[in-house]
Amino acid sequence: PYAVFALLANVVASSGDPDLLYALLFYAMIVLLGLTLMIVFYSIVVATITKKNPFWFLKEISPAQLLAFSTSSSAATLPVTMERVEEHIGVDKEVSSFVLPVGATINMDGTSLYQAVAAVFISQALGFDLTFADQLTIVLTALLASIGSAAVPGAGMVMLVIVLESIGFPADKLAIGLALIFAVDRPLDMCRTVINVTGDAAVSMVVAKSVGKLGKPNPKYWDDHYEEVK
């Protein structure tokens, strides 16, 4: 925390513009708004294709979302996601065991949104003009970088460097730009991991529905597991 505070203080002092802090707050709100819209989109997809109540879906997947929020890692959340999808939503194990591990690796839609918004914010905050071609490059590179990023905390920040370099962002301002958003990166990382996990679960439901392997929930509790082991 002390290092992050020092980095942000140095950026504000160097720019001489305290309004950067307000801009940073606005940036975080825009990212959260985008992530919220993605939750709404997933809910619509679930309701339209699988004919399930989206509020029921969000309730059943909430333990995986909570773990994703606390760990910021889709990979660490994968066992819980599989358990909730298979037992509490009714997705067949054949589907979940394929879709969810693949999704935990390449389905980083929340990360993709974050990288695109962060790249535009950093460019505008530091006076780097973006052409329409630059904006298209950001979208494409953010999409590809999110697919290739590891499912671990902080991976999005590393991939953001690639996104900024793809539009010719000045190397001498790169560290300043990253320091500017580093203060809010951790809470945003936690939120976008929730979106990634929710997307994995929604896609597994859609795939299971399309192949006729979306059945009824069959939750198992601790007593059931104890009896199986016994």
Q: What is the pTM of this model?
A: 0.82
Distance from CA of residue 101 to its chain's centroid?
Answer: 15
Number of domains in the chain: 1
* Residue 172 maps to a domain: yes
Compute φ and ψ for 109, nearest 5 degrees.
Answer: -65, -35
* Residue 28 maps to a domain: yes
pLDDT in tens, 146-199: 776 666 666 677 788 888 888 888 888 887 788 778 878 888 888 989 999 999
**CATH label of the domain that carries residue 106:** 1.10.3860.10
pLDDT in tens, 94-141: 999 999 999 888 888 888 888 889 999 888 888 888 888 988 998 888
* Residue 142 maps to a domain: yes
Tokens of 70: 């606390």
Domain that holds residue 83: 2-216
* Residue 38 maps to a domain: yes
Tokens of 145: 């970088």
